[in-house]
Structure 1
């Protein structure tokens, strides 16, 4: 712009401003014309003209008259274990409930723990919700253990329809890699419809020292003068939740899910309950089975024409055992029996609170006596995992059974006896011994028939449709913006008043770990398959022999008709194939197939070799920390004034694990192999006062496998400020990552969690110095060569 054009531009701007103002267009005043911020407003404010009034959104309420719901699910209980069903174990709570309602003797589950739980809560077949397996998960749709969003749980449906929801006990439906303080949490109980959760997340745990969670946060077990037990604890918590609910929302119906860890191994129970069965099983499993079978007929719980199936070859005859073997086995069964009665007692306390609360008569209770049949495991049972011990050693520790120091299970013969009259057991989905459990339903307001038997073919997927029908809630076609899969179950409500009604659940497939079966209109076709841990595993499923049973006439599957009716067998095999494709069962045996390099299993630790942990971390589950069954190095940066002692790093529990700690100024490493062997290395030098770097290094030399469990052997070395101060042989470092579900305990920095790995006092003491951080390297870092003490 030149000097001649400036006046012309100014004239044009003034003319434009004048035009805008004359046209009534408001113009922003110049800055020097704006009122000061503290100048009072001199105009008027027009009243509101939108006619707004205060209001609240109507709360979601359940349908009028909707009942309270309690589901009780026991764990690993044989069809005929309780006295009510012909067994020798007292379950007075279950029996009393049956006199008030109905017993079902043709009720089926999946045959393995978490799969049954998923089918129960989802109302869909277990492969359709990713639970064709438990911890043997992989990327196949039926075996991922990733609960899909299009299969909402009954808890979520009820919650969104005005119910309060809570779960207590054993969950076992969260992918193992998601069990950590960083989640994700959408497949924890509180992410699947339960507003409150208290219990354990894994397949099994110590009943005395469990790895507890409250909602999504690690919780400490309450300790008191009368002792602690997990089943008692969850009963107390459930009762407290019921009381709180009664105080604050007595008119709102609730859904309460109590899934005990009883009677899954370990069989942990107060001694007083074991003593109730002292010498009650000296007759052995052969006679127990025959006595139970006779009682089942006398009680009318099984048809009069039922044939008992023979003892499997893997179970030895009782008469073939030595006196010592019989003594050990009898005590194992006494412990299990006490555990079952104790579990029933604690469940009874919850039921009593329900019956004393609001809407007691309008509360329906489903008491499911087992999520699968009894396991037929090791012929001589077990105490601590796979530790080989002589019979004399085991007999010397007989009184330890049921206590916190052992991970005890009974001999397989007792599982066979309590599955009477069926063949097969837990894991074997091919036969009713693994998939048939007893059910009791009580609903005082609605079920008028008392103490009656129902014999229709029913399945665990029927529970959700039953609840929806009796509450008047429709199965949602879409939930949380996700279209929902159809339900697979059929409501049981038709059986409440009609003992002779024709069964409505006409077709049902079964599959677990390769064993499979199909039920259709009173017939079953089945094929057993041995899992890898039985030693004769084959991936060739075409060689499995199919059997055929007319279960409408042959209650126990005792008479194989495959050779007589090949056409019927072929027709049922075709039905199985159709159902298997529809339900994501293929690839058959998917539980044994690795995820592969193209689809590695999700993990917080895979592909990582370096880890950093801090003393302010919460208790970490074994699923969230690196697997140390390989060469590794643990380095601790600390400030330890003279006299400091306590735990630096601990992993596991009193049953299995390791601890690095300081005692009387010395650095000590203790590797605990299943509670029976401790490899201990102690530093030859004292820690200097003040800041220091201490380390433990493990160099792997060989590996061994026993019963599918990997142990690593090698040399352990201790260092203080990079100076070698201790060395020793370490045998049997457990591969926690291979079967995390089997091991108790947790990982902690500066303290032991849940229980101490070592009996030494300092190994259970919180470190009295200061830990800056702990480094874990799975590939040994460069360190100085070995330095002799003389140097």
Structure 2
């Protein structure tokens, strides 16, 4: 006999008598999805341009994504925000990035409602909505939606994935990570990869294995329960990491350079119907080098960088294909609504000559061509944090202008594939309707027949700002519901309205033409001047690549669109405009704990993320570690902040106390004790970092410094650092006590990670007070021992 159920929250509908035999049970009904409700799978790939994927005419083999496109639809008019966190906030909430407080990546947040990095709870996530509809909800891979200062073990956890409606999570919380040594979180706890790079570990493979396992876990218990999976690869963001055999598949294919790639891709896009046959290709960008004039060794290097990127992309496609094959194997593919999108156009963070360490870009450190040439055989492996040059960035965004961080179409126009075999009749067609990342959530809700909730967990919800695309699934001529859309990123502004785009580039149409660099400050007077003379106008129906500026011919239309941009800016919390670029990374932000000058850390705990760690850059500081050295000695890392992209490590090797400093993989320095004699027993090992000059942040130079090594307050060695990191230690900049987990700070010849300390560490103290009271190291020892006594 079926159980009697009643809606949860309503009155009991059974009968309660004096005894069980005269009573009738009833149960609150569990949340169940509608019968036949489809699964939903978002596949978000990173830093992938309009001209990369094979199904969009690109020169990279992506047979599995191509197959999804052949069984579904390709949209040629999808738009994002030009940056990752802002775009992802749009995809998951259906609201604009400034409405989500995401004017920038979370590490670049500012103290204004449109840019504080805190997505309001009234902007519900799709995961929160579908969880209420009886769905399992999973997040895999890149997150980058938690305020960077809240990503530590101290939380709060309410803006981590599990706090925003996801039942399970496995991935990395930040903007990118090392593909061989990733910083991983499972649910709310840090975890380590189960294999090493030498054992074949790669993050993309791991993410797909975890995704399959999560789906299988639930489906074997409740086969009819649908899932929503938000699957976000680390690919194709830097570092471009891939096993060598994948890169070697492309040997020689890019030897003719980026302009030739653009021409081939453009012609293929026309043949595929991705671009109209009468469209014009955007110009060769003035910031991009002329391939034909480059020396042979540079062409060889740049071609290899693109081979590695292409291999990285194909490798990602292969493993995404394994996820799709798994859905077919378990009979879930036909009724899974799949949306594939990139978060912005191809990235220019590698600079004009590419880089073996992307962290140089974030610290304004110029790349060294000779260093890059010396690294050519190892690019793609775990040793480097590599990124290709601007020429390949521009090529990857064919046919459009410019790139990520800018709101020309090269930065905001992205591939978008929708596949739902059971829910749509069209196969392999192209859709031209204007759409934006904020349209993904309302499209899903429309397909599921779910109304946006008025409240989630007691919080009244704001209106969804996007529009459903469902009407275009089976009707190529369906009216585009999304008529107007603003864009703003680092002061670069645009407005789309009914087939027209007005663009106000900042710092200009190119760095060469403006004479300015990315992050150039824009004051109020300059903004007024730009509104008077800086706007361009394009009819993107006839001129999708923005090649014919009609500002002078269509002055009235342009003025109306400028006015429209300001109206949208007021509506969606866009102001104030902030063009400062990487300088925003150094902005002071509220911390979970009260600001202090002394920090105590413990071994065996989670890594403390860089944004919650002591601010040691360009400042006097000391680190003291209370440790016990057993008989026969010990070795290993005592204290670490950073990884192979930059940072420092305090360690013992071959009986010698050592301080190692990695200046954005450009130079590495070591300060060693004069004698190789580390005493046995209980001791305080310290180093003192004392600045000896001034920093030059805009030129990528932190303060020079003198480093002194001490044992129990007695100096045992000292040395000078001619230059240090100015702005950010790197994406692996967290505090680790007793090991150097992940990618190592120093070279493989120095040690291999995790280089765990073989003695016993009790506690570590970081002192950033800069105070000197006679003997600061003795004070540190007393402080440590006093805190030990309180345990």
Taking the TM superposition and a 5 Å limit, the aligned residue runs for 1:625-704 are 625-629=613-617, 630-642=619-631, 643-685=633-675, 686-704=677-695
Between stretches 46-55 and 607-616, larger displacement belongs to 46-55
Residue 451 (1) aligns with residue 451 (2): no
Between stretches 462-471 and 666-675, larger displacement belongs to 666-675
Q: Give me the whole-angstrom Cα distance separating, in 1, the residues matched to 2:178 and 2:93.
A: 28
CA-to-aligned-CA distance 1:88-114 (integer Å, 9 cap, x gap): 111101111111111111111111111
Residue 541 (1) aligns with residue 527 (2): yes
CA pair 359-654 structure 1, distance change in 2 beyond 3 A: closer
Please name the residue that 2:86 is paired with.
115
Conservation of the 8 A alpha-carbon contact between 1:663 and 1:762: no
Q: CA deviation at 1:391?
A: 3.5
Q: Give me the whole-angstrom Cα distance separating, in 2, the residues matched to 1:115 and 1:372.
A: 13
Please name the residue that 1:34 is paired with.
none
Please name the residue that 2:379 is paired with.
401
CA pair 47-230 structure 1, distance change in 2 beyond 3 A: closer
Q: Give me the whole-angstrom Cα distance separating, in 2, the residues matched to 1:346 and 1:297.
A: 29
Conservation of the 8 A alpha-carbon contact between 2:304 and 2:376: yes
CA pair 645-326 structure 1, distance change in 2 beyond 3 A: same
Please name the residue that 1:323 is paired with.
296
1:95 is paired with a residue of what secondary structure? Answer: helix
- Any stretches of 5+ residues in structure 1 without a counterpart? 1-45
- Any stretches of 5+ residues in structure 2 without a counterpart? 1-16, 509-515, 779-791
Residue 207 (1) aligns with residue 179 (2): yes
Please name the residue that 2:394 is paired with.
416
Please name the residue that 1:366 is paired with.
339
Please name the residue that 1:726 is paired with.
717
Q: Give me the whole-angstrom Cα distance separating, in 2, the residues matched to 1:573 and 1:266.
A: 38
Q: Give me the whole-angstrom Cα distance separating, in 1, the residues matched to 2:368 and 2:579.
A: 37
Q: Give me the whole-angstrom Cα distance separating, in 2, the residues matched to 1:261 and 1:267.
A: 9
CA pair 47-504 structure 1, distance change in 2 beyond 3 A: closer
Q: CA deviation at 1:541?
A: 1.8
Q: Give me the whole-angstrom Cα distance separating, in 2, the residues matched to 1:325 and 1:595.
A: 33
Please name the residue that 1:103 is paired with.
74
2:131 to 159, 176, 184: 159
1:266 is paired with a residue of what secondary structure? Answer: coil
1:248 is paired with a residue of what secondary structure? Answer: coil
CA pair 253-784 structure 1, distance change in 2 beyond 3 A: closer
Q: Give me the whole-angstrom Cα distance separating, in 2, the residues matched to 1:785 and 1:213.
A: 37
- Normalised by the size of structure 1, how large is the TM-score? 0.89
CA pair 393-618 structure 1, distance change in 2 beyond 3 A: closer
2:578 to 589, 595, 598: 589
Q: CA deviation at 1:707?
A: 5.8
2:773 to 756, 760, 782: 782
- Normalised by the size of structure 2, how large is the TM-score? 0.89
Please name the residue that 1:551 is paired with.
540
CA pair 705-92 structure 1, distance change in 2 beyond 3 A: farther
Conservation of the 8 A alpha-carbon contact between 2:522 and 2:578: no
Please name the residue that 1:284 is paired with.
257
CA-to-aligned-CA distance 1:550-602 (integer Å, 9 cap, x gap): 112222211111100110001111111111100000112277699999x9521
CA-to-aligned-CA distance 1:649-708 (integer Å, 9 cap, x gap): 112123322111223433221112233533222223423321222210111012444666
CA pair 488-719 structure 1, distance change in 2 beyond 3 A: same
Q: Give me the whole-angstrom Cα distance separating, in 2, the residues matched to 1:310 and 1:231.
A: 35
2:108 is paired with a residue of what secondary structure? Answer: coil
Q: Give me the whole-angstrom Cα distance separating, in 1, the residues matched to 2:773 and 2:130.
A: 58
Number of residue equivalences: 737
Taking the TM superposition and a 5 Å limit, the aligned residue runs for 1:166-177 are 166-177=138-149
Conservation of the 8 A alpha-carbon contact between 2:345 and 2:397: no
CA pair 765-396 structure 1, distance change in 2 beyond 3 A: closer
CA pair 502-346 structure 1, distance change in 2 beyond 3 A: same
Please name the residue that 2:237 is paired with.
264
Please name the residue that 2:14 is paired with.
none
Residue 356 (1) aligns with residue 346 (2): no
CA pair 391-258 structure 1, distance change in 2 beyond 3 A: same
Q: Give me the whole-angstrom Cα distance separating, in 2, the residues matched to 1:718 and 1:600.
A: 30
Please name the residue that 2:109 is paired with.
137
Taking the TM superposition and a 5 Å limit, the aligned residue runs for 1:597-616 are 601-604=589-592, 607-616=595-604
Please name the residue that 1:293 is paired with.
266
Conservation of the 8 A alpha-carbon contact between 2:537 and 2:551: yes
CA pair 203-703 structure 1, distance change in 2 beyond 3 A: farther
Q: Give me the whole-angstrom Cα distance separating, in 2, the residues matched to 1:595 and 1:83.
A: 36
Bigger radius of gyration among the two = 1
Please name the residue that 1:486 is paired with.
463
Please name the residue that 1:746 is paired with.
734
Please name the residue that 1:715 is paired with.
706
Q: Give me the whole-angstrom Cα distance separating, in 2, the residues matched to 1:568 and 1:373.
A: 31
Residue 512 (1) aligns with residue 489 (2): yes
Please name the residue that 1:466 is paired with.
443
**C-alpha RMSD of matched pairs (Å):** 2.5
Q: CA deviation at 1:369?
A: 4.0
1:340 is paired with a residue of what secondary structure? Answer: helix
CA pair 172-560 structure 1, distance change in 2 beyond 3 A: same
